Amino acid sequence: MHEWLANYGFLSLFFLSFLASTLIPLGSEWLVVTMLLSRSDPFAVVAVATCGNYLGALTTYLIGLYGADFLKTRLLRMDPKTTQKAERLYERFGSYSLLLSWLPVVGDPLCLVGGVLRVRFIRFSLLVATGKLARYAAVAWVTLKGAAAI
């Protein structure tokens, strides 16, 4: 599967980044690193990964905005403990906690809670896209610096 994903380049990166931000516990960073080490354009890699990951988070936000509890528990497999962690982050930091939407475990619930709490779309988009862009840019920077040192 690793080889198949690597062979389809940007399309694979987009879909893997999208899925990593929604239903399936996946990581897309390995493909970002693989593509960068294969000499793909770093700006394009970061842009595609960020777009896919943002759109996946937007899907989760829309489920929170319009979805029923059934969708939250069955589709996203959100248990009460994970949802409570996300809600506590919101209580403490407000919508700015969406900057942390890139984090494993609590990132998807943060986007879901953003929808449930009706965070404005523009605010949601700016905060989530900024966080996800920062993550992929950091992965790219570390990868390229490490590759240059070799």
Q: What CA–CA distance (Å, rounded) separates 56 from 27?
A: 13
DSSP the chain: -HHHHHHTHHHHHHHHHHHHTTTS----HHHHHHHHHTT--HHHHHHHHHHHHHHHHHHHHHHHHH--HHIIIIIS---HHHHHHHHHHHHHHGGGGGGGTTSTTTHHHHHHHHHHTT--HHHHHHHHHHHHHHHHHHHHHHHHHHHHH-
Q: How high is the mean pLDDT of the chain? A: 86
Instruction: Give percent above pLDDT 90 in the chain.
Output: 47
pLDDT at residue 79 in the model: 75
139: containing domain: 2-149
Tens of pLDDT, residue by residue over 21-34, are 886 778 899 999 99
pTM for this structure? 0.82
- Tell me how far CA of residue 41 lies from CA of 11, 45, 79, 128, in angstroms: 14, 6, 39, 23
User: Average of pLDDT values for 104-108?
Assistant: 82
User: Average of pLDDT values for 76-92?
Assistant: 75
Q: Between residues 99 and 78, which one has the greater pLDDT? A: 99
User: Average of pLDDT values for 3-14?
Assistant: 79
∠ CA 37-44-140, rounded to 5°? 45
pLDDT at residue 142 in the model: 96
Query: Domains in the chain: how many in total?
Result: 1
User: Average of pLDDT values for 12-17?
Assistant: 94
Q: Does residue 122 carry a pLDDT above 80?
A: yes
